[in-house]
Copies of this chain bind each other. A is one copy, B any other.
Amino acid sequence: MRDRVAVVLLSGGLDSATVLAMALAEGFACHAMSFDYGQRHRHELAAAARVASSLGAARHVVVPLDLRAFGGSALTADSAVPKGRDETAMAADGIPATYVPARNLVFLSLAAGYAEVIGARDLFLGVNAVDYSGYPDCRPAFIESMERTINLATKAGVEAAERGEEWFRVVAPIIGMTKGEIIGAGLRLGVNYGLTHSCYDPVVRDGETRACGSCDSCILRRKGFKAADVKDPTLYA
């Protein structure tokens, strides 16, 4: 099994850390892939490097993605992060302000190109449609359509189809799990969630990155640790 190689999208957050642990537990040699696309994600990139190293990824690739040509309002926007919303409020507001245009489409496209280069067939990502389904590119319909498109877009995919095989697989193992279930599964696989970073609006104090505790991501994370009935290792501001 160990000779099978997978590409795992790794943001540095709780979800993708769990998915990396799952892919490793399935026996894949994992190439973790992160994207450097703006300032808000600096803390996440540092967390991604810690997670990849601690779990034993074969490689951690950081792809620079400079989208300043898109204009100020895109992936790196400094729009206000909503604070203190409960899940009903999050759901009622529909697709959130923190939505990034076509993010998982772009990330999976680049992951597919990389996978074809290194001979990987499995692309893992930590999208989740249960706790917070506001993002369109976290839904099963997108994942299925993306898998089909990747197989049509690539040499490996088209050549396999001629043999009656499906080559690339987009694997979203936590898409149907609650945050509590995700944390429980990760802990059983040895994930150190103290290394992960979820906050959309972190504060650096005394040289340490602290989570704000009140953005959507912090609220879902806190609730997840409570639901899993384990101590939350996050450092809050």
Chain A interfacial positions (CB closer than 8 Å to B): 61-67, 69-71, 73-75, 95, 99-106, 108-110, 112-114, 116-118, 136-137, 139, 141-142, 145-146, 148-150, 152-155, 157-159
Is the Cβ of B145 less than 8 Å from the Cβ of A113?
A: no
Tell me the smallest distance from the CB of A72 to a CB of chain B, in Å: 9
* Measured CA separation A157–B73 after assembly (Å): 18
| Contact A67 to B113, CB < 8 A, known contacts A99-B155, A155-B99 | yes
The residue that A117 contacts in the complex, of B71, B95, B116, with Cβ under 8 A, is: B71
| A74 in complex: contacting residue of B67, B99, B113, CB < 8 Å | B113
Q: Report the minimum CB–CB distance from A41 to chain B (whole Å).
A: 16
Partner of A101, one of B70, B99, B117, B159: B117
- In the complex, what's the smallest C-beta–C-beta distance from A38 to chain B, in angstroms? 13
When A95-B158, A136-B154, A148-B145 are in contact, do A106 and B113 touch as well, CB less than 8 Å?
Answer: yes
Contact B152–A136 (Cβ < 8 Å): yes
Q: Is the CB of B116 within 8 A of A102?
A: yes
A98 to chain B, nearest CB (A): 11
A95 surroundings in chain B (CB, below 8 A): 155, 158-159
